[in-house]
Amino acid sequence: MHSDRETDPLDPAYADVPATRINPHIPHPARIYDYLLGGKDNFASDRKAAEALIEMSPGTREGVRAHRAFVGRAVRYLAAEAGITQFLDIGTGIPTQDPTHTIAQQAVPEARVAYVDNDPIVLVHGRALLTGDPAGSTAMIEADLRQPEKILSDPAVQDVLDFTRPVAVILAGVLHFITDEENPYGVVEQLKAAVPSGSHLLLSHITLDFADHLSREEATKPYDKSSAPMVPRTHDETLRFFEGWDLVDPGLVEVVTWRPDPVEYQEQIPGGHAWAYGGLAIKP
């Protein structure tokens, strides 16, 4: 987002969003992520936080792109190979490139996707998402992952998704913004309990397992003043989110090694690691 929007609360793109709900001075994870992916829907505060991450770890930008590529591969697998036609994408972020419904509907035109985010800027841009394949259906609601009951009971979500049939719950790059005090495992268990056998959980999570040179305080500092501080977790801590479900091969692994596409361009990541685990599991 260019600087003119920072000083112009009357920008027509945000005409129906109260100005008090968009604070350009507080970095937001979705906008930081957008900047790292090369998007333009971000403020100076977001860019400053992102550049601090890059300075701390020169491979940050490439790692974020590797993470986004993992999500794309996993969604493609779900639609083309696992036969999933319904997706609940929570913490979707700004649709910089290849949103879930675009990928899924390429394989299954009738795919149905409900997007959930708590950032008003994401919601503004999300309205452009609602133009997918006419055979399918999409919706976007404002809700917070910390309130799964609100998500599950939302009329728009219930209109798009049939919870008596398998659903893919997508939690890509969002759980590391839920602190331990906010009960992330309990939140995920509520979502897992709401979907039937044959449903999938697609999850990715930031880790410091590959960052021996950094302390937790150093790694998370750029997010300290953001709307959601970052909480990296270990492999075991991330694996716990899948408890009771069966992991799809190759299990919970670094995102770059999850079913890499031989024809997909693989960027060299400075430092060699994407600092994120990714996995997919099916409900028995």
CB–CB of 118/64 below 8 Å?
no
In the prediction, which pLDDT does 275 show?
81
Ramachandran bin of 238, using left for φ above 0, alpha for ψ from -120 to 50, beta for the remaining angles: alpha
Instruction: Determine the angle formed by the axes of helices 60-80 and 100-107, rounding to 10 degrees.
Output: 40
Q: Extract the tokens encoding 84.
A: 């999933």
In the prediction, which pLDDT does 84 show?
98
In the prediction, which pLDDT does 123 show?
76
> Residue 266 pLDDT > 80, yes or no?
no
DSSP classification of residue 268: P
- Name 235's bridge partners: none
In this structure, the number of other CB atoms found within 10 A of the CB of residue 29 comes to 22
% of residues, the chain, pLDDT over 70: 75
Higher pLDDT, 4 or 105: 105
> Residue 12 pLDDT > 70, yes or no?
no
> Residue 182 pLDDT > 90, yes or no?
yes
Q: How much is the average pLDDT of 112-116?
A: 95
Q: Extract the tokens encoding 98.
A: 């290849």
The shares of helix, strand and coil residues in the chain, as percent rounded to the nearest 5, are 40, 15, 45
Provide φ and ψ at 153, rounded to 5°. Answer: -95, 0
Least confident piece of the model among 2-6, 74-78, 184-188: 2-6
Amino acid at 262: P
Q: How much is the average pLDDT of 59-67?
A: 74
Rounded Cα–Cα distance for residues 18 and 20 (Å): 5
Q: How much is the average pLDDT of 79-107?
A: 89
pTM: 0.79
Q: Extract the tokens encoding 100.
A: 């879930």
In the prediction, which pLDDT does 166 show?
98
> Residue 11 pLDDT > 60, yes or no?
no
CB–CB of 156/207 below 8 Å?
no
Ramachandran bin of 106, using left for φ above 0, alpha for ψ from -120 to 50, beta for the remaining angles: alpha
- The residue written with tokens 């993470």 in the block is 67
Element (H, E) at 281: strand 276-282
> Residue 19 pLDDT > 50, yes or no?
no
CB–CB of 73/265 below 8 Å?
no
In the prediction, which pLDDT does 26 show?
80
pLDDT tens digits, one per residue of 203-261: 999 998 876 655 555 544 444 454 557 899 999 999 999 999 999 999 999 998 999 98
Rounded Cα–Cα distance for residues 102 and 173 (Å): 19
Which residues have a Cβ under 8 Å from the Cβ of 51 and sit 6 or more positions away?
A: none
In this structure, the number of other CB atoms found within 10 A of the CB of residue 236 comes to 9
